[in-house]
Every structure is written in C-alpha cells, then in structure tokens.
Chains A and B, each alone.
Chain A
Amino acid sequence: MEVYPIVNLKELHEKKIKDILDKKQVWNLPLVEKDANIQEVLSILTARDHVWVVEEKGKRKICGVITESDILRLIAPHRLPKYVFGKRYSVSLHHGTARKACDVMHKQIITCSPEDKVGEALLRMVNAGLRRLPVVENDEIVGEITTHYIIQILLGKR
C-alpha cells in the first residue's frame, strides 16, 4: 500500500514555528501558577497530559512544566533510589510533601521560539525525549508544539 503524505515533511521542517501555530491556541494553554494547589494541577491533568507552570496568575512568564509521567511517579507506591541526594525523591502525594505545583514541576525546561524552524524543534524533542515544547517569546509562553499537534498537521486537520 502506498502512503500519500498529506503534508510534505521537508517543507514542514523548513517552516517557522510561528507559521504553524494556531493563534487561538494561546487562550487554551493548560496553565497554572507555581503556588497553585496540587488539586488544581490534577484537575487540569484529567483532560490534558501536561500543565505549564507560570510565575503568577494572569501572567505568562513560564517557570516549569508538570507532565503525566511526573504524576504517575507521585501516585505509584513510593520507592527511594539506592543513593539519595537532595529533596527530589521525598516529593510524594501520599506523604503530603507534594502540595503545590512548584513542589512537583520540572524547573528547567527546554523551549523553542516562534522564529525556530519546525525541524529544529522536532529534533530538540527527539534528543531530549520530550513530547511537547513550549513556544516562548521574551520568557513568556505564547503557544506549544506537541506531538499530537504535529500529527494533526500531518493529517491535514490543521
């Protein structure tokens, strides 16, 4: 069976992120502020597979991300690694140490800018083992590139 790509991949790779971003997306981003209660984070994750964490409510300065797999680690039976350093392994829902979004989030985030090429962003996702990148301009999140989103573009649904 022949496969007919709806979108030319080479052309897609050369496009800029800003050219494929849905302008409406910015209003529909999953966002919480860093001091948000963990309940609020979990509530968003019932419908989305990640949440971007911003410094303050109403502002878009990004400071972290929480993904489904972070939550999976929190709800699975807690196991400490053999060699324990720092505070990371003590964060637990069961033991009451995961209270706010900032307790759980990844603080260092890999981003892309609206001016980056789609191909570069995808390579960054592959190299870092990520399924999503925030699109950041002047430290503020203006959109996101996810695997789902790219698949929708490939199938001509966007």
Chain B
Amino acid sequence: MLLEIGVALILAKIIGYAFEKVKQPAVLGEIIAGIVLGPFIAGRIFGIKYISAETEGIAQLGIIILLFMSGLEIGVEEIKAVGKNGLITSLFDVSIAFLFGYIAGNTLGYDMRTSIAIGNIMVATSVGITVKTLMEMKALHTKVGELILTVAVLDDVLGIVILSITLGKGQPLMILLKVFIFFFSFVLILLLMGKIKNIKFHIPRLMLTLSLAFALIFSAFAKRLGLAAVTGSFFAGLLFSVFPQRRRIIEFTRGIGEIFFIPLFFVWVGASFDFYALKDMGMLVLLFVPMALIGKVIGCSLGAKISKFKTRDALAVGIGMMPRMEVALVVVTTEISMGIFSDALAHQILAATILLVIISSILTPILLKIVKEKASTSQEG
C-alpha cells in the first residue's frame, strides 16, 4: 500500500502539472493518474492493486478535507454579501440544473431516488476554468464575471443543502426532522462561535487542531443523522470561517489537503473508473452530459436575464457556470458509497460524471470566447 500511495502522489503531481501547462484543470490529470494506476493499466501490467480499504479511507478523508476547505473559503460573510441578482440567478441555476438531472434519470427509466441522485450531481459548478478563461479574455471584472463569481458562492451551498434533503434515509417526515436538527445545530453553533471567537488561548496550533477535529466530528454528526458526511464537513468549514484565524486555518487545510489527501481522492476516483462500463452506457452519456450542460446554461441564463442582463451576457453567465469538477465528483462518490446506484450503474454514473468533467472543461472556454467575442462585435457594430 505504501508503494502504491507514494507512486500515486508522484504520478498525480506530474500529470496534474502537465494538464495545467496545457491550460486544463490539474484535477483531470490526477484522475488520469488514477486511471493509469487502476486495474486496467498498471493493475494489468504490473499486478498493482491500488483500490483497497486503506486507499478508500484516505480518499474519504480527502473528501472531508475538500468540502471543509470549500466551506472555509466560501465563508458565512461572503454568503451574506450575495446580492439580489446573485440570489435570483443561483436559485434558477440550482433548481433547473437539478430538474434536468432528474428528468434525465426519469427518461432513462430509473426510480425516483436514482433520478434525484443524478439531479444532485448536476448542481454544483466549479468555476476555476471559467475564471481562467475570463482572465485570459480580460473580462473577469465585468458584470458577467462578477455574477459568475457570486453565483458560484451560493451554488455549492445550495447544492449541499439539496443533497442533504434529498438523500436522507428513512421516512420523508423523519428526513425533514433530521435536516432541521442539523441546520438548527449549525445555527446554534454559529451563534456560539460568534460569542467565543475572540476568546484568547495560548496553546500553539490549537485552532488548527480544533478546526480539523470539528470537521470530522460534524461530518460524523451529519452521518449519524442519516445525511451525507460531506454536508457536515462543508458546514463545519462555514462555521470556522467566522474566526479571526480563518486565513491560517485555510492555509493549514490547503497544505495537508493539496499535498496528500485531495489528490489521492481524485486518484482513487480515476482508479475506480471501469472501462467495461463504457460499452453499456450509450444512452446514459447521450442524455447525462447534454442535460447537465444545457440545464446550467438555461438555469443561469434565465436567472441573469431576470436580473436585467442583456441576452448575450446572460448566455455568457450560463456558459460560464457549465464546468463541473470537484464537488460533482464528491457528490457522485458519496452517492455511490451510500448505495444509491446498483453496482453496474454506479460504474456507469461515475464514468459519465468523469466524461462530464472532461467535456465541460473543454467546451466552456471555447463557447465562452465565442459568445463574448460576438457580444463585443455586436457592441462595436
């Protein structure tokens, strides 16, 4: 196991860096590193068995740290600062993306729980690639850039909330009660943290240890309530974002996360990729990927249009919100571990999500440039 993990870290770094050099997300490189280490390449040639209980455990910790980091970076203050336009666009974005996923699942003949799970995968956007493209186009400071960044803040929060509500276990009333207990506890702790955030202790690295420990404990609490563990870690991140030591906690979490746990999560996702799943997933891919892309474009564009954006700018916001990456992969692996998809379907959905990540990363910059260039041309004309 030690050898496999060591090799995985080096491969993930090298391939991830190579992807960054060709202006593609490093996450894709890390997934490819996993595919190389998985049963179909290194497994077949060298007899390496990367997927094990240990590597799965590390990947699960990677998920917790990734979502904790996401909550910390997004922050309670930033959520409060989201304006009317951001809120309207986010609500349209999240509800229509979810609906399109649900319709895709339903059309493919899956039951309600499976269709809801597919809807959940389509909700969270990753704007890294969009930010890079907007920077290249010198358009990050524009109204379009600002709205995309604002919507991305709420997008993850709403995505995690929907995940908690829709994937709870048990009777609907019990699920609602458990979700209520979770969010009530969150608000109570948030109020408490507001009171104690300036208490002065002099134990070295106390806040760093406490924050990480709390992320794990709050994840366990969410899991105990029948919600996904990632819900707990994300909201733990939000709770710790109110502390004066926030920047230091982010640096510490990014340190251990980026160097070790998170790349190993993406390597594990890649290693779980099943090439055999590709041959039976024709209709799934044909519906899953386009519905995921179109749902975002329609949802966000509609929200932006209602917020009085010009049609082309609204379309640019929709296209800018298309990419899926980290959180979509976290959602799909969480749903697989919750046993929502049957064995064969689990491999197919994971493969379809990886394809969605790849296609959305390639398509977004191209489409965004076309729409923005046409917008500038029509303005000049």
Contact = CB atoms under 8 A, between A and B. Distances in A.
A and B associate in one complex: yes
Give chain A's interface residue range (CB within 8 Å of chain B): 20 to 34
Nearest to A94: B135
Contact of A81 (B78, B126, B202, B258): B258
Given A95-B140, A108-B242, A90 B131 contact: yes
6 tightest A-B CB contacts, nearest first: A96-B141, A84-B128, A86-B73, A85-B73, A108-B244, A85-B70
Contacts of A84: 126-128, 131
B315 interface: no
Contacts of A106: 247
Interface string A85-123: 111111010011101000000111111000010001001
Interface residues of B, number: 47
B145 to A, nearest CB: 8
A6 interface: no
Interface in B73-130: 73-75, 77-78, 126-128
B245 A128 contact: yes
B365 to A, nearest CB: 14
Contact of A86 (B134, B141, B153, B204): B153
Interface of B: 16, 20, 25-27, 66, 69-70, 73-75, 77-78, 126-128, 131-132, 134-135, 138, 140-141, 145, 149-150, 152-153, 156, 198, 200, 202, 204-206, 242-248, 254, 257-258, 262, 326
Interface string A10-27: 000000000000000000
A4 interface: no
A120 B202 contact: yes
A127 B204 contact: yes
Contacts of A111: 198, 244
Contact of B202 (A90, A107, A109, A127): A127
B48 to A, nearest CB: 25
A108 B16 contact: no
Among A80, A96, A124, max chain B CB count under 10 A is at A80
B248 A128 contact: yes
A57 interface: no
Contacts of B257: 83
Given A108-B242, A124-B200, A83 B262 contact: yes
Contact of B149 (A83, A90, A108, A127): A90
A131 interface: no
Given A83-B66, A90-B149, A97-B145, 13 more contacts: A78-B135, A82-B27, A83-B27, A83-B262, A84-B127, A85-B69, A85-B156, A86-B75, A92-B135, A95-B135, A97-B140, A108-B246, A128-B244
